[in-house]
Amino acid sequence: MTETVVRIESLAFGGAGFGRVEGKACFVPFTAPGDVARIRVTLAKPSYLEGELRELIEASPRRVAPPCPVFGTCGGCTWQHLSYADQLEAKERIVADTLWRFGRVEPEKVGRAVAAAEPYGYRSRVQFKVRWIAGKLQMGFYRRGSHYVVDIPGGCAICHPALNRVLAEIRHVVGHFAEPDRIPQVDAAVGDGGATVAVVHYIGDDREGARAYFAGCRSDLSAVEGLHLQFGRKESIEPVWGVDGLTYGFPAGFLPELPEMSLGFSRGGFSQVNYHQNRELLRTVYRMAALTGAERLLDLFCGNGNFSIPLARYAAGVVGVEEYAPSLEDARRNVLTNGAGEIEFIRADAATGGRHLASRGDGFPVVILDPPRTGAKEAVAEIASLRPERIVYVSCDPATLGRDLGIFRKDGYTVRKCIPIDMFPQTFHIESVTLLQKV
């Protein structure tokens, strides 16, 4: 491919720097606004180019020194070379631009991003990729755009320190396993009290041998409180030893008159990767929901009850819908643990759950939804059929959010405001909470 020179103007969703080459849009990872870069064109399309940074002819004054020695090679982080203030500004603009492009949401409805108190060492869940190459263990994260594992023997800058201790110990244990090439991944998570669990993925045929080996490794894994093996889908996870789940909490008085709460999630279950920012997420949802105690609340994609359980005390009734059975079990346990009263949980995907509720004549003045990255397109019609006055949409992808907001508009809803919340510093990923109201 050819080489060319581009001046970087801004940052794009996906993390790359954006510039123009002969009028054509050009995207270059690991560049900063103000850079003048010599690039190798790696992809040429009629309307845009993608490039690989070869040389910084002129470095932007907005650049900072990244603390991670494999930044730029590892695909985990995209923006360690930018100040945190610049990251936040970029995320606000990206959310505003994306919602306008995909959903025709006016940019002025997007507020200031809620900054993270700790831009490093925040990540509470991680998937360490594993490869055994030429007799050497590689354990870390994929290189951007590939399945090549970038080794991180010194730990990850954005991971909670407890997870880096798990990485150091599990690396040794996996390296001495008889079939290290049959372990593609190790999941690790930490609760906000510091307890940790690890899930080792095993794709070999000797399951009994794997069970026996890892059962005998407890003394070598002092940083791990619970170890589990996974043989396929999440439903195949089985315990080896130690704790089965973790907890995180909300302090007393965090919301008005809210008692201290502790929510648990089991191995394989979902939790937000940034506990401190999860509190800001709940605070924003609470404000947008504007519950008075008279409304029934529907929580779609409710998981372990992250929103429905703390908000139950402000609603006349709560229904949670979740497809993943272990998360619903976590939610039911969390209701009992926290004395949250009566919450009805339904196991179903959001669309099916919505149809079921509509068929029995239910209506909900307030609906909260927190779908995966793919969004909630299939459930929009069912949500609208429940006649909510307010919809609070939590999203981790501005593009699918914008698409869904456009669909909601056709059903008579308008966006009042959108608040970005930075759950993922040093990366281009951004969470947001959007309030829609019936026109």
Contacts (Cβ under 8 Å, ≥6 apart) of 232: none
Same CATH fold assignment for domains 1-63 and 91-117+273-438 = no
At residue 232, the pLDDT reads 87
Separation of alpha carbons 187 and 128, rounded Å: 6
- Class for the domain spanning 91-117+273-438: alpha beta
Give tens-digit pLDDT for 309-358: 999 999 999 999 999 999 999 999 999 999 998 999 999 999 999 999 99
Separation of alpha carbons 274 and 192, rounded Å: 10
List residues with catalytic annotation: 396
At residue 1, the pLDDT reads 63
Encoded amino acid at 424, one letter: F
At residue 423, the pLDDT reads 97
CATH 2.40.50.140 fits 1-63, yes or no: yes
Q: Where are the domains of the chain?
A: 1-63, 91-117+273-438, 125-242
Give tens-digit pLDDT for 22-53: 999 999 999 999 999 999 999 999 999 999 99
Check pLDDT > 70 for residue 138: yes
At residue 271, the pLDDT reads 87
Q: pLDDT-derived band of residue 185, with 50, 70 and 90 as boundaries? A: very high
At residue 137, the pLDDT reads 94
Mean residue pLDDT across the chain: 95
Q: β-strand 185-190 against 125-133: which pairing, if any? A: antiparallel
**Average pLDDT for 410-437:** 97
Give tens-digit pLDDT for 367-405: 999 999 999 999 999 999 999 999 999 999 999 999 999
At residue 274, the pLDDT reads 96
The fold of the 125-242 domain, in CATH, is: OB fold (Dihydrolipoamide Acetyltransferase, E2P) (2.40.50)
Give tens-digit pLDDT for 229-284: 999 888 789 999 999 999 999 999 999 999 999 999 987 778 899 999 999 999 99
At residue 380, the pLDDT reads 95
